[in-house]
Structure 1
Amino acid sequence: QQPTANYNIKINGLKRVFPEVFCEGKIDFEKLKLILGEDNLADQGERYHLNWAGKTNAYRTLQAPTFNTLAPCQAESVDFANTQNVFIEAENLEALKILQKSYAGSVKMIYIDPPYNTGNDSFIYPDKFSETKSEYARRVGDTDDDGYLKRDGVFQGAFRKNSKDSGHYHSNWLNMMLPRLHLAKTLLRDDGVIFISIDDNEQAQLKLLCDEVFGAENFVADVIWQRAFSPKNDAKYLSENHDYILIYTKNISQFKIGRLPRTEEANARYTNKDNDPRGNWTSSDLTVKTYSENYDYEITTPVGNKLKPTAGRCWGISKERFEELKADNRIWFGESGERVPRLKRFLSEVQNEMVSTTLWFYQEVGHNQEGRQELKDVFAGRGYFDSPKPTRLLNRILKIANVQTNDLILDFFSGSGTTAHAVMQLNAEDGGNRKYICMQLPEPIDEKSEAKKAGFDNIAEIAKERIRRAGKQISSSLKNGQSVDTGFKVFKLSQSNFKQWQSPVSASPSSDNLVSDSPNAKKQFELDLTAQLAEQQDIIQTHATTQNMAYEIALRLGFQLTDPMTFADNIVWLSHADGSRKTALLLQEYTLDILPDILSANPTKVFALDIIFHGDDALKANTALQCKDSGVSFEVL
């Protein structure tokens, strides 16, 4: 049972700032209140906050441990051994929890396109993650009557239509989003940023939720994207042609916004009306609305007109600075010399990049039809996914996020795989080595859909095939000597390779749940406890493989899914991408003859499964002693 890294990070952070409010590992809230002072505490009944039905349970879901892991699937991967990209086919809440330790503070940018809660969406709710193996076993088929999806005994999600007639219509959506956003925040770097696509159904609620999760001070912008280029005449009221993209940073003081390349349209605004030798220029207003009496002075135009700023405004520069600019021919009074003065700004002096606006037109970043056409181009004219985002939109987002050449990008509502496609495409354009992690639930496809007829069973399969085909297209377009990582490692949500301790079926004699302390009840408890102890003698699950165990342990130890992993005889070697923290895993048969080869490789740590010693405590102790003498940490799992 692993508590989430999100929880531990916050608790440890509080301990560093206020160590005095902890007593025996627990928080003394009364002492915390005293330290903070009443002036810094909000009135419980009147404070400004977002509240909804089920919010407390949503936080419980966030803190609930996960008993699952991620299993590699080489058969569905591309260039598994070398790629730095990852595609996770899983329920994203579970997957995000599994990645907390290994990827905390590693992600530069997150983009998500979650369900818009239109009243027709089927959401995935994490309300059965606590089911035991026996409870799973009682379910038959891929989904049961309640819409619970499972695969290989692992709960994948629950599909429930969130009708607008529901009394908890908005609450259900917020309960789904809250834990995922908290987990996402932990994965972001301190200079990281998240972009979230949404429409009018939940934009207002999402803005308030993000204020709570990321902090209102970390809000960057609410972008309006023109996703459609023509009106819908069958609209009930107005034709909705836009979506929103909310932008939040993890720490706005450390985030540096990216700028966009200058366009021909932007440069066309610069002309040279007075044949200035410094070239084309445009003019800007010299007045400001923040009034200062010292900057409220009279200016005489070349034709003798005397001008002052309009009421309530003043000039933006001092009189002395104005005379300097005028002498340098940087003040424009109009062609006739009688207009209100404006400041000349030369094209040769502006930056090669420009600030983005919050209004993104389809001509600049594409529209839904463009996204669909891109997908059809990949699938030889077939459109297998509704309303995919265009890669030009993701390209704009990557630039605004200031994603650098080796940064990591995450999309945990991957859909058709546009984010992965856009990352590979941008790397091909500028020679970058950006990496992505995409997550997509294996959500079943409508039986009557074109995708189903083509042989796709779920959305994740469409996304993987789109990335494979897009990768081939990009690779074929590369110039001589250029290379781009178009591969990806596939991982799927799986039951842990190790047995979890389950409390005995019968309650303990001291438990409040026990009906009586009768001899029969005590005897049953002892039998149950004995059976559970016997079960734990071999903690390895029957479905476990060496590779799957190695990846699960690697994630628990803080290694990432793309860190080097090699298998040599009975040793699994792990290290970080830079070669640091070399670690040996002993998961199979073991004899003391193996140890010299391990120690000669100068590992930082050696981890061994207890079962490989077959009860030989002397062998285990001898191994530990030799590791200690060599300055190597040794631990039995």
Structure 2
Amino acid sequence: MDKLKMHSPDLTEQNVDKIAELFPTVLTESIDGDGNLVRAVDFDLLRQELSGQVVDGPKERYQIDWPGKREALFAANAPVAKTLRPVRDESMDFDNTQNLFVEGDNLDALKLLQESYLGKVKLIYIDPPYNTGNDFVYNDDFAETTEEYLRRTGQSDELGGRLVANLETNGRYHSDWLSMMYPRLKLARSLLSADGLLAVSIDDHEIASLRMLLAEIFGAGNYIATIVWHKMDSPKNSARHLSEDHEYVVLIARDAETWRPNLLPRTDEMVARYKNQDDDPRGPWLLGDLAARNRYEQGVYPITTPAGRVIDGPPPGNYWRVSRRKFDELDEDGRIWWGDGSVRPGIKRFLAEVRDGVIPQTYWHWREVGSTRNAKQQFHKRMEAAAGGNFFVTPKPVGLILRLIKIASDKDSVVMDFFAGSGTSAEAVFQSNVDDGGQRRFISVQYPEPFVEGGSGYETIAHLCRDRIRRAAAEMSPSVDEATRFDGGFRSFQIDTTNMADVLSAPDALTQDRLDFQTGNVKPDRTGEDLLFQVLLDWGLEPTMPISVEQIAAHEVFVVEDGALVACFDDQLTPPLVREIAKREPLRAVFRDSGFRSDADRINAEQVFAEVSPGTDLKAI
């Protein structure tokens, strides 16, 4: 019986598999750190395969580089022996919800969710730490100290003495920030659907670096736009130089050729521009200019107005946007507006005939999507806190995320935020579903960062984030029509070490008192439900799938989504139990390897499934 690997996917191995399929001649063999023979890639041959000329050696090229980049790439690809452990006490409607909240480092979370949500996420919005020179909570092992950075870049000697007049200490912060972001963005890309979009909030400190980083990971051709968010509703008079009234949201698609924005609804102000000055039965219309700058060979001809004035042609440097023949057809159909009969005519654009919405623009004013002040007011009201409450200082307004969801998601999309912060994205998903009756799902990931001061009773930002989501759901749920199911819950998980015990040891280190421990491969504090969710992740199934617990032949059996997976992790597994599960013909079945009383029982289980349910994918842990 095959065993599940029970750890996140090894992305390096997957990449080697892909290279081997395209260029089998570049595969070679090497010795790893333990002296084992392993597959390897001959990068010199690979460079030659990808070049149209003879490659002599590495060449300079346009790219973004920094100290620690190779380590960051390694960090993105390396597997982690961790899992998601369910925390029912911190969840809402655990058994029915499709929403997911993960507490822990988002780098681990992105790895653990790789196979379950590969290519399934329509919109990822993140508001990462802005690089202001402070230490990062996400301080990965490969981030350098200031001293290490200065030595590597030749700005100081081994003793810390200056080698240049002005130390570029700020460069260290760029390196830290880039090393932190690179693996997370690389993993996020693979979660996006073919028509998915990544939106990143950022300020002036790192927008240039972010643009180059995204271009390297996603491809420069998939860049969509940079939105300018006018975030301040009044100037900041305490500013040292200028009042920084805006931030950015950088948009990049998984595939720019596939991604298209949803149109935004017209505002009342836009609709009010349409008038019906001549009582046209087709309704209100807006006057469009007949002249255009785009050259059109048939767009130069004279026009005679009803008052007899002859207009020799379009204004200098312009062209009529339609041919003479088309102009006459429009005039006959009453679509040309002549005014008093003496002015240059225009084309009537009827409201009833224009697209049902407007294309999104790149400038978003705070009156439309909210300001930083609005965001704090919304947040304090939601949390029933005083305006000066010291527990989260930089929330984003719900309106900002609402607009992103509107232009970049469908009613049943998965929306992800792996820098969840105060939980604005999750609340925006709830509000979007209330507004249009959608069934969008959210995935929120937040590190359990403790509050430095205060916290208004919350130990960590993750605790605060969950409470905000609960409060938002409680307020919105009663406003939803009874015929529309509102999913206001979430399954809460905590990132923890793997459920599997390390039972490997050298023969001379195995003593009598450790024999009982060595016979079991599961940590003693882990439950069957803990094991189930690690199996779901290992098999690439979503951890929000519906689960029921049944008693079969006096054993606890987990049934996932009506037979997509059936699991039993009990000891002393009996042949009647195995046969009863096989009769259900599940797509997948998994047992605890040590749960079988003997090797004969394990072999018998394989034979039972081969006979009763040959289509079942049978595994053990």
Q: Distance in 1 between matches of 2:538 and 2:324?
A: 66
The aligned residue for residue 202 of structure 2 is: 198
In structure 2, which of residues 544, 557, 566 is the aligned counterpart of residue 572 of structure 1?
Answer: 557
Check whether the contact 2:565–2:589 (CA below 8 A) recurs between aligned residues. no
**Secondary structure of the structure 2 residue equivalent to 1:51:** coil
TM normalised by structure 1 equals 0.83
- Residue 292 of structure 1 deviates from its aligned partner by 4.4
CA distance in 2, matches of 1:59, 1:353: 42
Q: Does 1:390 align with 2:397?
A: yes
TM-score by length of 2: 0.85
* Partner in structure 1 of residue 460 of structure 2: 458
| Structure 1 residue 610 displacement after superposition | 2.0
Letter of the aligned partner of 2:109 in structure 1?
Answer: A
Work out the CA distance in 2 between the residues paired with 1:21 and 1:326: 68
- In 2, Cα distance between equivalents of 1:124 and 1:531: 43
Percent identical across equivalent pairs?
37
Structure 2: any 5+ residue segments left out of the alignment? 30-38, 144-166
Deviation at 1:467, TM superposition (A): 0.9
Following the alignment from structure 2 to structure 1, what is the Cα–Cα distance between the partners of residues 381 and 56? 55
What letter matches 2:71 in structure 1? N
Q: Which residue of 1 aligns with 2:243?
A: 239
Q: Check the 8 A contact 1:70/1:552 in 2, yes or no.
A: yes
CA gap 1:42/1:462 in 2 versus in 1, 3 angstroms: farther
Per-residue deviation at 1:439?
0.6
SS state of the match for residue 539, structure 1?
coil
Is 1:595 equivalent to 2:578 in the alignment? yes
Q: Answer yes or no: is the 8 Å Cα contact 2:294–2:319 preserved in 1.
A: yes
Corresponding letter in the other structure for 2:397: P
Asked if 1:316 is matched to 2:321, the reply is yes
Q: For residues 166 and 623 of structure 1, do their structure 2 counterparts lie closer, same or farther at Cα, with a shift above 3 Å needed? A: same
Q: Secondary structure at the match of 1:207?
A: helix
Map of 1:548 onto structure 2: 530
Relative to structure 1, the CA distance from residue 19 to residue 320 in structure 2 (aligned partners, 3 Å threshold; closer, same or farther) is farther
Q: Distance in 2 between matches of 1:69 and 1:164?
A: 40
The question of 1:426 aligning with 2:432 is answered yes
Matching residue of 2:508: 527
Q: Is contact 1:5-1:101 (8 Å) kept?
A: no
Alignment of 1:84-163 (within 5 A): 84-120=98-134, 122-127=136-141
The one-letter code sitting in structure 2 at the alignment partner of 1:560 is E
The within-5 A match list for 1:3-14 is: 4=9, 6-7=11-12, 10-14=15-19
- The CA distance in 2 between the partners of 1:404 and 1:443, in whole Å, is 32
With over 3 angstroms needed to count, the CA separation of the structure-2 counterparts of 1:326 and 1:14, relative to structure 1, is farther
- Classify the secondary structure of the residue corresponding to 2:193: strand
User: Relative to 1, partners in 2 of residues 1:533 and 1:480: Cα closer, same or farther, differing over 3 Å?
Assistant: closer
1:47-86 to 2 correspondences below 5 Å = 47-86=61-100
Which residue is 2:59 aligned to? 45
Matches within 5 A, 1:185-584: 185-302=189-306, 303-335=308-340, 337-339=342-344, 341-382=345-386, 383=389, 384-401=391-408, 403-447=409-453, 449=454, 451=455, 454-500=456-502, 527-528=508-509, 537-569=519-551, 570-576=555-561, 579=562, 581-584=564-567
Please give the alpha-carbon distance, in whole angstroms, between the structure 2 residues aligned to 1:437 and 1:283: 46
Paired residues of 1:475 and 1:483 also in contact (CA < 8 A)? no
Could you tell me whether the CA contact under 8 Å between 1:628 and 1:634 is conserved in 2? no
Distance 1:41 1:425, change over 3 A: farther
Look up the equivalent residue of 2:405 and give its one-letter code: L
Aligned residues: 574
Q: Contact conserved, 1:309 with 1:315, CA < 8 A, in 2?
A: yes
CA offset at residue 625 of structure 1?
1.6
C-alpha deviation, 1:533, in angstroms? 11
- Residues in 2 aligned to 1:172 and 1:590: alpha-carbon distance in whole angstroms: 51
Once residues 586 and 608 of structure 2 are traced to their aligned partners in structure 1, the CA distance between those partners, rounded to angstroms, is 13
Aligned to 2:618: 634
Question: SS of 2:405's equivalent?
Answer: helix
Cα distance, 1:277–1:476 mapped onto 2, change above 3 Å: closer
**How many Å separate the matches in 2 of 1:39 and 1:361?**
51
Judge conservation of contact 1:6–1:186 (CA < 8 Å) in 2.
no
Structure 1 distance, partners of 2:82, 2:513, is 20
Amino acid at match of 1:109: L
Distance in 1, matches of 2:601 and 2:429, equals 50
* Structure 1 pair 202–254 and aligned structure 2 pair: CA distance change class (3 A): same
The Cα of 1:86 is off from its aligned counterpart by: 1.1
C-alpha spacing 1:71/1:429, structure 2 compared with 1 (3 Å): same
Q: Which moved more, 1:164-173 or 1:579-588?
A: 579-588
Cα displacement (A) at 1:56: 0.9
SS in 2 for 1:625: helix
Give the secondary structure class of the aligned counterpart of 1:279.
Answer: coil
1:44 Cα deviation after fit: 4.7
Matched residue, 2:36: none
State how far apart, in whole Å, the 2-side matches of 1:101 and 1:445 are.
33
Q: Which whole-Å deviations, capped at 9, do the CAs of 1:525-576 have from their partners, x for residues lacking one? A: 7635899996754221232222111111221111211112333343433435
CA distance in 2, matches of 1:36, 1:494: 41
- Residue 9 of structure 1: how far off its partner (Å): 5.1
**Alpha-carbon distance, 1:22 to partner:** 4.4
**Cα RMSD over matched residues?**
2.9
Deviation at 1:437, TM superposition (A): 0.9
Does the CA-based 8 Å contact 2:263-2:356 persist in structure 1?
no
Higher relative contact order (CA 8 A, sep 6+): 2
Measured against aligned partners, the alpha-carbon deviations of 1:271-309 in whole angstroms (never above 9, x if no partner) come to 234444433222333344343444344444444233434
CA deviation after TM superposition for structure 1 residue 32, in Å? 4.1
1:210-258 C-alpha deviation (Å, 9 max, x unpaired): 1111111111111111111100111112111111111111112222311
CA contact (8 A) 2:548 2:560 kept: no
Cα distance, 1:66–1:501 mapped onto 2, change above 3 Å: farther
| CA distance in 2 between partners of 1:431 and 1:349 (Å) | 26
Distance change (3 Å), C-alpha of 1:5 and 1:338? farther
For 2:21 and 2:258, how far apart are their aligned partners in 1? 21
